[in-house]
Amino acid sequence: MRVVTWNLWWRFGPWQERQKAILAVLRELRPDVVGLQEVWEQGGENLAEWLAGELGLHWAWGSYGDPEAWQRRIGDPGVGVGNAVLSRWPVREQAAIGLPTGANGSGRGALYTLLDAPAAPVPFFTAHLSSATDASALRCRQVTSLVEFVARHRGDGPFPPVVTGDFNAWPDSDEVRLFGGYRTAPAVPGQVFFDVWEYADPGAPAATWDTANPYVAPTFGPSVRVDYIHVAPPGRDGLGHVRAVRRAGDAPVDGVWPSDHAAVVADLGAETPAT
């Protein structure tokens, strides 16, 4: 099962040209499931719906909540923002929540879907945490809400929950450690998640917020990995174990960079091994 997570940079920059580049990257990746952040909707149109239609996938979308702070940044009060899931398999269930907000009130959220995959239903989540450099304490509160949300919807099937998203946090940060729950006490007792990048080639490029990207270069900050695919420990006969992981969407497409973030791609075991 090929899983992708990607922040699509909402309606910033040359968004119409970027939309085509995003589609080209996803079409080449041929994913089974995609967790998307900063997905726009306006007047009955939705970027996730368009991508799903072009790719022949099912889709779900969930609003972050109050979009006003986002809308002020582009001067358009009619554009919504949320998370989305694209799936090769039907979406059996879905639910969305807003996450705690900081002083600027910029909405963030999480989306749950239960996917009707052939080996077993897959509890799949995607989330977007606050981005302020000094907002680690807020992100810890958001992670706690996210982990509690996962605990309510993870079910008891054999496929482990998969949680994707833009955490806006470095891998050794308090909030990422709290989410994983194996380098510090877990936010929900007994619930832990592995960062799939732990299985990557140590020499592989890892930064998903990369100053090689012209949308990122003006920030003058360090290149760092802030986007994640997390998987709970493998289920029966290794369901959900990590087979491979890498970046994608980390170069221009016909001269257009698709987003300010690179995507993360992981291949997970989705079938019972032969004996």
Question: Mind listing the pLDDT tens digit for each residue in 228-274?
Answer: 999 999 977 788 999 999 999 999 999 999 999 999 999 999 875 44
Query: SS3 sequence, the chain?
Result: CEEEEEECCCCCCCHHHHHHHHHHHHHHHCCCEEEEEEEEEECCEEHHHHHHHHHCCEEEEEECCCCHHHHHHHCCCCCEEEEEEEECCCEEEEEEEECCCCCCCCCCEEEEEEECCCCCCEEEEEEECCCCCCCHHHHHHHHHHHHHHHHHHCCCCCCCCEEEEECCCCCCCHHHHHHHCCCCCCCCCCCCCEEHHHHCCCCCCCCCECCCCCCCHHHCCCCECCEEEEECCCCHHHCCCEEEEEEECCCCECCECCCCCCEEEEEECCCCCCC
Structure token pair of residue 177:
């450690």
pLDDT exceeds 60 at position 105: yes
**Residue 210 predicted with pLDDT over 60:** yes
Give percent of the chain above pLDDT 70: 97
Average pLDDT value for residue range 140-147: 97
In the block, residue with structure tokens 């970046």: 247
pLDDT tens for residues 152-181? 999 999 999 999 999 999 999 999 999 999
Give the pLDDT of residue 272.
57
The pTM of the full predicted model, rounded to 2 decimals, is 0.96
Q: How high is the pLDDT of residue 269? A: 93
Q: Round to whole Å and give the CA distance between 58 and 165.
A: 19
Would you say residue 204 has pLDDT above 70? yes
Please give the pLDDT value at position 238.
Answer: 87
pLDDT category, 275, cuts 50, 70, 90? very low
Show the domains of the chain with their CATH numbers.
Answer: 2-268 (3.60.10.10)
Q: pLDDT band for position 83 (50/70/90)? A: very high
Mean pLDDT throughout 134-159? 96
Tokens of 134: 């000094």
Token code pair at residue 275? 């004996």
